[in-house]
Amino acid sequence: MSNPRVFIAGPQSFLRPTYHGFIRTTSDVFLLLGMCLNGRLCHVPRRPYPRERPHTIQSGNVFIYEEDISGIQQWTDGINWSPSYILGDFLIYRETEPGLPRDAENEKAIRTTLVATTTTGSKPEAAAPRFRRIPDPVDYERLCLEDQELYGQNIHSYSYKPDGLVKKTTTVSVEGVFHHLVSYYTAEAVRSGRLQTPTGDPQFCGINPRIILIRDPSLQIPLEQEEFRMLRLGRRRMRHLCSVRRAGRRRQTGGKEHKPSPQ
């Protein structure tokens, strides 16, 4: 029986994703793309039809398509997205409330909509429940470090859908052919461990990305630097967790951190 996280090529009428999991790093992208080039995984041949979107555009689904063969000039999924934020070699988008402008790249339009919604009428507070506001960039340091990895710095004053999807995309050129990756996830699914990364997937154990992919000159961050960045992020998480625990102990002891007495 094949692993349910991998979707093998075959005749089918319903569009299926290339993989199901979480794309954390460029290494994950290279691993999946290498499997596609080897024929063990499949590029998707087209965009999802509108009737397929509720079933295909879901947390954990990863789609890889080749630009020329598929003829896809722009991936569309029918969801309202925030403006993109660059995170290394990825673009990050967050799902917004349905009432916002469809063109998420128009930052001014989104901000104008938010202002108009909260200020129009004799009782501004009556319109406020329509949108759930999030912190301004000045509050960035107070965000959890895990949120920085999942959302990047995409924390402007936009109205994000509670528990909404995040879209993470990237493009890799292999010998002049562009391969696009589009992945979806929710923060809760990643934090809970329900979504496996390709590099952490046991079925891919011992498989290394192709050298031609690793040496791709179009990468914004070389693979070695990205691995170092992830290691540094892990250390920052540990320091952050320790500081939170110390602050909790100080609150419990009235502002004084308890120290064990010498034996």
Domain identity same for 145 and 170: no
Weakest-pLDDT range from 10-24, 49-63, 130-144, 155-169? 130-144
Give residue for tokens 């402008």. Answer: 101
Top pLDDT among 248 and 67 is at 67
Top pLDDT among 176 and 154 is at 176
Cβ contacts of 200 within 8 Å, gap of 6 or more: none
Q: Checking phi first, is residue 225 left (phi over 0); if not, alpha (psi -120 to 50) or beta?
A: alpha
Domain identity same for 28 and 68: yes
Question: Nearest 5°: CA angle at 34, between 180 and 47?
Answer: 30
Lookup: tokens for 86: 């660059």
Weakest-pLDDT range from 163-172, 181-190, 200-209? 200-209
- Residue 179: pLDDT band (50, 70, 90) is very high
Note whether residue 261 is domain-resident: no
Domain identity same for 181 and 209: yes
Note whether residue 89 is domain-resident: no
Cβ contacts of 196 within 8 Å, gap of 6 or more: 5, 21, 22
Check: CB of residue 121 under 8 Å from CB of residue 191. no
Top pLDDT among 99 and 103 is at 99
C-alpha separations of 111 from 115, 118, 128 in Å: 6, 11, 14
Note whether residue 246 is domain-resident: no
Sheet with 61-66: list strands edge to edge: 19-20, 61-66, 177-185, 166-174, 90-94, 85-87
CA 96 – CA 93 distance, rounded (Å): 9
Last residue of a domain, one of 120, 149, 164: 164
3-state SS track over 208-254? CCCHHHHCCCCCCCCHHHHHHHHHHHHHHHHHHHHHHHHHHHHHHCC
- Residue 249: pLDDT band (50, 70, 90) is low
Note whether residue 86 is domain-resident: no
**pLDDT value, residue 174:** 85
Last residue of a domain, one of 127, 146, 164: 164
Q: Which residues form the domain of 5? A: 1-79+165-219
**pLDDT value, residue 224:** 47
User: Phi and psi at residue 45, in whole multiples of 5°?
Assistant: -85, -15
Note whether residue 237 is domain-resident: no
Note whether residue 244 is domain-resident: no
At position 249, the amino acid (one-letter code) is R
Domain identity same for 55 and 21: yes
CA 232 – CA 191 distance, rounded (Å): 19
Domain identity same for 64 and 74: yes
Last residue of a domain, one of 219, 242, 258: 219
Note whether residue 230 is domain-resident: no
For helices 26-37 and 223-252, angle between their N-to-C axes, nearest 10 degrees: 140
Note whether residue 32 is domain-resident: yes
Domains in the chain: how many in total? 2
CA 204 – CA 215 distance, rounded (Å): 21
Domain identity same for 4 and 75: yes
Tally: H helices and E strands in the chain: 9, 6
Check: CB of residue 44 under 8 Å from CB of residue 182. no
